[in-house]
């Protein structure tokens, strides 16, 4: 892209707006902002919801399994420094003062802190799975022990045997 500075942009907008009728105005749209000039030929930078980029939703099953994100492990997307959440996307714009990069997390309307904390949960998941399996085995063992004692108690009572 050729680089456009403030002076060039103001001159271009003045030239194009000179030929427009009343009630209509030409603005320059770049990145997530639009650029206009006021009556004193000052550049006004504004944002509008209609010029936000459309972001296609990502899903785990969009590609074949061998090529899909996460096919190797959850860490493909959910690691501390994965490009899926923390990468930078280049915003193509010829206007130089505009920030030319945007973080992936900005497209999700969540903070980087949230994504960093969420990615930490994937670090501890293997240990958490082991703890859950051990706890489930202990609970199952306790249930079987007390169920066995209950069955023995009922069997003794129903047989008329009064021993402990």
What is the band of 153 on the pLDDT scale with cuts at 50, 70, 90? very high
Contact 56, 64 (CB under 8 A): no
Percent of the chain beyond pLDDT 70?
82
The model's confidence at residue 53, banded by pLDDT at 50, 70 and 90, is low
List the structure tokens of 135: 């706890």
Whether pLDDT at 56 is above 60:
no
The model's confidence at residue 120, banded by pLDDT at 50, 70 and 90, is confident
| Between residues 34 and 3, the one the model is more confident about | 34
Q: How far is CA 104 from CA 9, 31, 80, 90, in A?
A: 29, 15, 14, 10
The more confident residue out of 20 and 37 is 37
Question: What is the Cα–Cα distance from 8 to 97, expressed in whole angstroms?
Answer: 13
pTM listed for this prediction? 0.43
Q: What's the pLDDT tens digit per position in 61-116?
A: 556 667 666 677 777 777 777 777 777 877 777 776 666 677 777 777 777 788 77
Strand partners for 102: 89
Give the CA distances from residue 153 to residues 54, 81, 140, 162, in Å, rounded to whole numbers and listed in that order: 68, 59, 20, 10
- pLDDT of residue 138 exceeding 80: yes
The DSSP secondary-structure symbol of 43 reads E
CB-based burial, 117-154: b 16+ in 10 Å, e otherwise: eebeebeeeeeeeeeeeeeeeeeeeeeeeeeeeeeeee
């Amino acid at each position: 892209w050729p680089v456009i500075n403030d002076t060039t942009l103001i001159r271009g907008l003045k030239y194009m707006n000179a030929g427009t009728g009343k009630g209509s105005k030409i603005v320059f749209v770049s990145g997530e902002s639009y650029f206009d000039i006021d009556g004193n030929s000052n550049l006004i930078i504004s944002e509008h919801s209609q010029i936000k980029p459309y972001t296609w939703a990502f899903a785990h099953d969009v590609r074949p399994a061998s090529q899909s994100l996460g096919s190797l492990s959850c860490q493909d997307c959910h690691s501390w420094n994965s490009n899926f959440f923390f990468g930078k996307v280049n915003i193509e714009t010829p206007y130089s003062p505009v920030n030319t990069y945007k973080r992936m997390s900005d497209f999700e309307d969540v903070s980087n802190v949230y994504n960093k904390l969420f990615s930490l949960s994937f670090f501890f998941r293997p240990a958490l799975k082991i703890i859950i399996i051990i706890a489930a085995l202990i609970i199952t063992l306790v249930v079987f022990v007390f169920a066995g004692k209950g069955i023995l108690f009922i069997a003794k009572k129903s047989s008329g045997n009064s021993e402990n």
